Structure 1
Amino acid sequence: MNNISSSDSSAISTDADPYADLDHETPILVQYWQAVLRHKVAIAIILAACVALGIIATLLMTPYYTSTATVEINREQDKVTNVEGVSSVDSIGQNLEFYQTQYSLLESRSLAERVVRAQNLAAKDSFFETFNVDPDNSDLLTDTSKTQSSAQRDARFKLAADILQEHISVSPIHGSSLVEISFQSPRAALSAQIANTWVEQFIASNLDRRFSSTADARKFLEGQLADLKQKLEDSERNLSAYADNKQIITLSSEQTADGKTVSQRTLASANLEALNAALAIAIADRIAAESEASGRAGNKSALSNGALNNLREERAKFQAEYAKLMVQFEPGYPAAQALATQISALDKSILAEEARSRTGTSARYLEALDREQQLRAQVNGLKGQFSGERRDSIQYNIFQREVDTNRQLYDGLLQRYKEIGVAGVGTNNISVVDGAQPPEKPSSPKILLNIALAILAGLGLTAAYVFVMEQIDQTVKEPSDLKLKLGIASLGSIPNLEKEDILLSLGDKKSVAWEAYLSIRTSLAFLTDHGVPRSFLLTSTRPNEGKSTSALALAAVLASTKKRILLIDGDMRNPSLHQMLNEKNTTGLSNYLAGDDDLEKLISRDSLYGFDAMVAGPIPPNAAELLSSTRMHELVSKLSETYDTVIIDAPPVLGLADIPLLADAVEGVIYTIEAGGVKLRGIQAAIQRVRSSHAHIFGGIVTKVQAQHGGYGYGYAYEYSYGSRASEEV
């Protein structure tokens, strides 16, 4: 017997499989391409439908005209009051903030409402008709009266502003302070009109904001000035009241560079200064009088006494005359005695005058001493008064600083209030560069752009369609799926050819079908240690998966190698071998299983394709009962002694009990799977059923593979191989 155990055959198959290391996953891009090719018809239909819809939609669209105005927005620095420190530093971040604010203002609803008011759009039915909008939601059954309620007018106004905002666009020009304002409408003249009005109202709104800001600033400053004026008056009253209360009389003061008032002299300080100077003089006089009175410094009064000086002068004169007489005469001379008497009288007069002068010096000393004491007492009194004034001047200076501060604030605000009334109101930082002109051509719709968008949409839909279909289509699509998804080896694949084409191609060894089955025959040669299995069967999950055709083709390919091949039609429920060989199904396998041992009668010798064949024979009432006997096992064993390879075309697996019975009679099973046919779940269940019967599965053949789908297809390879050779012969 040629059967081997499943474990042994598994070891042989694994060791002998020449493609075991070649089973790998198809590259992801190739899988995507194959998926696209599998659904190419649907993809083409979806793309064509999207393009057609895009063209139709474009033709049905209302043409819109876009008119653009260009303005320049300059950066500006606004300062409301210097007093509150409102200052800004020009920087990149603030520039971005400023321009983003301007762009937002250009797109604001308030600006749209200004344009609606300026053009009176809410009252123009033609404006709404241009955009195909019914502002009053009226129909044929509604009374469209010309008289509109306040709510209707408000609704029309709001709708007009919404339309403007929907069709306006603001586009800053990169790297510049220029901004393009575009408006799109079905009428070219209306587009230019709205764009220009939009710019005009933006400039006007900017001026209004500046004026409003100036008015608000003036109002604010007026309030601040009133408060500061009251504070200044209160602080001045407090200062004056405090000075009166403390009897602080300021004679002179000066303003410092920072605006502070500094008191230079007060009445107390001036009095103290004068009395102190008088005291110094009195002290000097007292000291001089004291020295004179004591005689230490002589009688200075005598020197300055006129009478005394006259007496002394006369005495000197008489003394001189007396001296002359003494030269000539004796003291007793009468003239000399007269002169001596006069001199003696003058001496007495001089002594008396000197005495009187000394008495006056003492009086002057006492007078000087008294004056000194009085002045000293006054100075001491003023010193105490001045010390108290110095203590009071601390609070006085506090009141003075408050007055100075309030006066500075008041003067600063008053100056800003005068300036703000004339600064910046009439100027504007926005200028029109290019006004909007009515466009000559519509800007939309753009047929090429819409077609491109339709193609993109179509590609998106096709991608979604292919993805969904691939997820739904859980089938085998290529040979690599056998190893990855089913766990069986791939023996080869057969291109998608009609059954008749395959049978006709077997007569041409250059055909694609022949080359495909020849490749499978090569794989079979490495399945066991003795080459091509001595016996095997071909089955599938369901009918019409190319099982019978593959069995016949493999028999023909094996027979072409001068091997003796027997093909048995084991599908006694739905036989097909006799049809492919154009023979009668009168005797065959069913006869042998029923007890007929005449194999010569049951086997057709040397058929059209070079192999022997045993057809199914008459269809039995219950094929499973015939297969359950040992005669099938005996038949294969007996035929294996005569033939190199026995091939059985077995029935499908699902729903039938024939495969487990037939698989026990052969070395192994070759599973035939139609590409894109049975779901993976069904194939897995069928393979599991085959394995449950302890049958060995050599591998699988994928049939009806689209040549352009396979990553390793036949279409190009064989066309190149034989086509190029034929062209060279020509």
Structure 2
Amino acid sequence: MNDQLPQGLANAGALTGGVRGPLRTTTGGALALPYNHLGQDAQGSSYLDLWRTIVKWRLVVLGVLLASIALAIAVTLLTTKIYRASATLEIAAEQSQIMNTDESKANSVLLARPDYLRTQYGLLGSKALADKVARSMDLGSVEGFGYERGGKPNSDRGAALRRAASVLKGNFKVVPDNTSRLVEIIYFDPDQATATRIVNAFARNFIEFNLDRKMSATAYTGKLLQRRLATTKAKLEASERAAVDYARSAGIINVTTGTNAAGESSESSLTSGSLVDWNGALAKAQQERIAAEQKFRQAQGTTSEDITNPTIQSLLSARAQITAQVGELLNVYRENYPQIVQLRSRLSDIDRNIATEKARIRKALQSDYQAALASEGQLNAQVNSLKNSVMTLSDKNIQYTILRREVDTNRELYAALLQRYKEVDVADGVAASNIAIVDDATSASLARPNALFNLGLGALLGLLVGLLAAFVLEFLDDSIKMPDDLGSKLGLPTLGAIPKLPAGENVIGELVHSGSQIAEAYFSVRTAIEFGTSAGAPRTILVSSSRPAEGKSVTSFALAQAFAKVGNRTLLIDADMRKPTIKLKDDQHGQAIGLSNLLSGSEEIEQAIYDAGIANLSLMPAGPVPPNAAELLSSRRTAEVLMFLLGRFDTVIIDAPPVMGLADAPILSSLVEGTVFVVEAGSRRLAVRRAVARLEAADAQLLGAVLTKFNHSAPGMGDGYGYGYGYGYGYGGTGKSRSTSTEIRVGTEES
């Protein structure tokens, strides 16, 4: 076999060190992939992705929306019409009228607690009021209230009224105005007239209900006060009897002594009064005794001249006159003169009379003193006796005071209850309602169904459900439709998106014209490959796909043509030896020398290379179909052939068979510097991912993926991909090159 190889190729394996090594070390060390293979999109989702999803599944969204609107219309048409009747009430602050029995004048007490209105709202919606309305309108015998519509009347009147009250309560609504004391009451019913009558009945019965509650409360209060009055009166009488009996047994006699500063009468016992009187007498006697004692003491130590008694004073005056006469006579006569003797005798008589009068006065003062002293002693003894009596009475009076206090308490309680009873009795006749009807219900309006609301709600729900369904379908849809899916679902960088041609268009004919949109698209793929690594484009490139008919052969040819146009000597090898794609024009039976001949060692390499009719582009057909293509590709000869070809060509493009089910592509991917994976738009992610995994397991250097048959105008694709093509391509038919010696047959593999 080595004799048939060109010079230097026979020892290629020995020189380079094996089958896999030589072709992977040329540029493999500098290979830098632009995308991680973890299947993660670095930028994440965007609002544009959401919009594309909605546009993609627009028929689902529209279908759900229309179905929801149709359902809303059906519900609106089938729903029983319910009418709404309303009336307005004013609930003023409640005033309680209390009559003042002393002044015969009414006093108003305003009851405006914050919870008063809320209480009234609760009463409006109460079961008691609904029951009152049902009874007043005799709804127990009305169909739809006392018994089911179309059913038999309820023979139990009580049960029928209870059911009617339950229906009324369920269809009744209270709508208060928080800025005022107005409240709107609403009733819903299938019949307009019935709704109007019932809401007006609620208004009237609520006023009566409120008055009845007031009257009932007043009557109940009166009865309660009456019972308490009787009880309190009995307690008062019993306490009074107990106080009197104790006073009689204890000998306590109290008399009214006057009124105090508060106008209340004050009482005291007779013993206390006597003590006061005797104490006053004792004080007076003490004063008299002191005065008599002073006079007696003075009389004991005074001379006659100091005594102011009139008799003594007159005697002293007479004595002074006689003494004066004696003095005058002595100036003339002697002592024994008769007249002097006579006068001296008279002086002696006067002195005796003065002494006698003085003794009498002193004795009288002593008698008065002794009498005053005796009187004081008697009064003092009486006062002391009364004091002991009063002290004893005070001890007894403690219990008597307790009994009297109980009497006073019972009397005050009885008086207060009696006053309150009179007020309640008077107020019972002056009760007035603080609730008034502002607006009666005149006619009922249609409440439901609300056609516009139902349609709007149906449209909104339909839109939400449709969007939800779209996102769920998008989540469940694992097909690859857009270039971004290559990165997000496969973990491969996107090398380009190739538009789809309409049926009947010749893709090869488009490719050979450099101005076509498809040629430009593939040229951009070549550029992406070249700038995808730090060392430039790999020299050996394998093109494969997960399954047949995804466009790998056309991609191989387009890439080979793109590299040839930039001046690279390019060789396109048809490595699909089971279903060859490249067919020579003069080879009618597929027997031309090709890759299978070289790998089997039966031909020279030069004989298997053909001119493609395009500058710098050569072709190597698959050759005759061998029975063991995988064995040929896995032989050492494959690497040696590739090494020789790299000596003649700048770029070698290998069109490999599909990955799934065959071993050819993984074997070849391990020998080349880079692998381009072709994915048809609409392929299932799982199948494609398995194919990629097989290549990765074979240590293939994946350069990226090319999305073929991409319809950029399909729903959800938008205008952000490719070049804005207005057309696509379909892989079918044959395309002839400018060379007359070869033709590219895409046939069933590409269609």
- Measured against the shorter chain, the TM-score band is 0.7 to 0.9
Distance in 2, Cα, partners of 1:420 & 1:7? 115
Letter in 2 for 1:624: A
| Deviation per residue, 1:503-550 (Å, 9 max, x gap) | 275467666544433332221111345533222122233344443443
| Deviation per residue, 1:604-656 (Å, 9 max, x gap) | 64369995555556655554234333444444444444444333333332332
Which of 670, 677, 681 in structure 2 is aligned with 1:671? 677
Letter in 1 for 2:281: A
Pairing 1:88-487 to 2, within 5 Å after superposition: 95=114, 97-125=115-143, 134=148, 148-150=154-156, 153=157, 156-252=160-256, 263=266, 265-286=268-289, 368-423=372-427, 426-439=431-444, 442-476=446-480, 478-487=482-491
Letter in 1 for 2:148: D
Which of 71, 74, 98 in structure 1 is aligned with 2:92? 74
Distance in 2, Cα, partners of 1:254 & 1:677? 122
Q: 1:361 to 1:591 in 2, by over 3 A?
A: closer
SS in 2 for 1:46: helix
2:720 match: 713
2:335 match: none
TM-score, normalising length: structure 2: 0.73
| 1:454, distance to aligned residue in structure 2 (A) | 0.8
Distance in 1, Cα, partners of 2:710 & 2:702? 21
Worse-superposed segment, 531-540 or 511-520? 511-520
The question of whether the paired residues in 2 share the 8 Å contact of 1:569 and 1:615 is answered with: yes
The question of whether the paired residues in 1 share the 8 Å contact of 2:523 and 2:562 is answered with: yes
Tell me if 1:492 matches 2:506. no
| 1:453, distance to aligned residue in structure 2 (A) | 0.7
* Structure 2 portions without partners, runs of 5+: 1-11, 99-108, 319-324, 326-348, 727-751
1:695 match: 700
Distance in 2, Cα, partners of 1:185 & 1:409? 56
Q: 1:359 to 1:216 in 2, by over 3 A?
A: same
Q: 1:511 to 1:218 in 2, by over 3 A?
A: farther
Q: 1:352 to 1:594 in 2, by over 3 A?
A: closer
Which of 38, 43, 49 in structure 2 is aligned with 1:25? 43
SS in 2 for 1:652: coil
Which of 49, 67, 90 in structure 2 is aligned with 1:49? 67
1:661 match: 667
| Deviation per residue, 1:176-226 (Å, 9 max, x gap) | 332222222222222222222222233333333333333443344344434
| 1:669, distance to aligned residue in structure 2 (A) | 1.2
SS in 2 for 1:70: strand
Which of 62, 65, 70 in structure 1 is aligned with 2:83? 65
The question of whether the paired residues in 1 share the 8 Å contact of 2:600 and 2:632 is answered with: yes
Distance in 2, Cα, partners of 1:582 & 1:278? 174
SS in 1 for 2:447: coil
SS in 1 for 2:683: coil
SS in 2 for 1:519: helix
Worse-superposed segment, 591-600 or 648-657? 591-600
SS in 1 for 2:188: strand
| Deviation per residue, 1:684-726 (Å, 9 max, x gap) | 433222122122111122345553645772378568xxxxxxx
Q: 1:383 to 1:472 in 2, by over 3 A?
A: same
Distance in 2, Cα, partners of 1:365 & 1:17? 145
Pairing 1:599-610 to 2, within 5 Å after superposition: 605-606=611-612
The question of whether the paired residues in 2 share the 8 Å contact of 1:103 and 1:170 is answered with: yes
* Structure 1 portions without partners, runs of 5+: 81-87, 139-143, 317-322, 324-344, 720-730
The question of whether the paired residues in 2 share the 8 Å contact of 1:603 and 1:614 is answered with: yes
Distance in 1, Cα, partners of 2:615 & 2:438? 90
Sequence identity (%): 38
Pairing 1:554-569 to 2, within 5 Å after superposition: 554-569=559-574
Of Structure 1 and Structure 2, the greater helix share is in 1
| Deviation per residue, 1:60-96 (Å, 9 max, x gap) | 223322222122233448799xxxxxxx9999xx62x
Tell me if 1:13 matches 2:31. yes
Distance in 2, Cα, partners of 1:369 & 1:35? 134
The question of whether the paired residues in 1 share the 8 Å contact of 2:35 and 2:492 is answered with: no
Distance in 2, Cα, partners of 1:258 & 1:553? 126
| 1:382, distance to aligned residue in structure 2 (A) | 1.1
| 1:387, distance to aligned residue in structure 2 (A) | 2.7
| Deviation per residue, 1:413-468 (Å, 9 max, x gap) | 332232234448733333222222213x5232222221111112112312332343
| 1:383, distance to aligned residue in structure 2 (A) | 1.5
Letter in 2 for 1:269: S
| Deviation per residue, 1:328-374 (Å, 9 max, x gap) | xxxxxxxxxxxxxxxxx9x9999999999998887766655444333
Letter in 1 for 2:53: A
2:529 match: 524
Distance in 1, Cα, partners of 2:66 & 2:295? 142
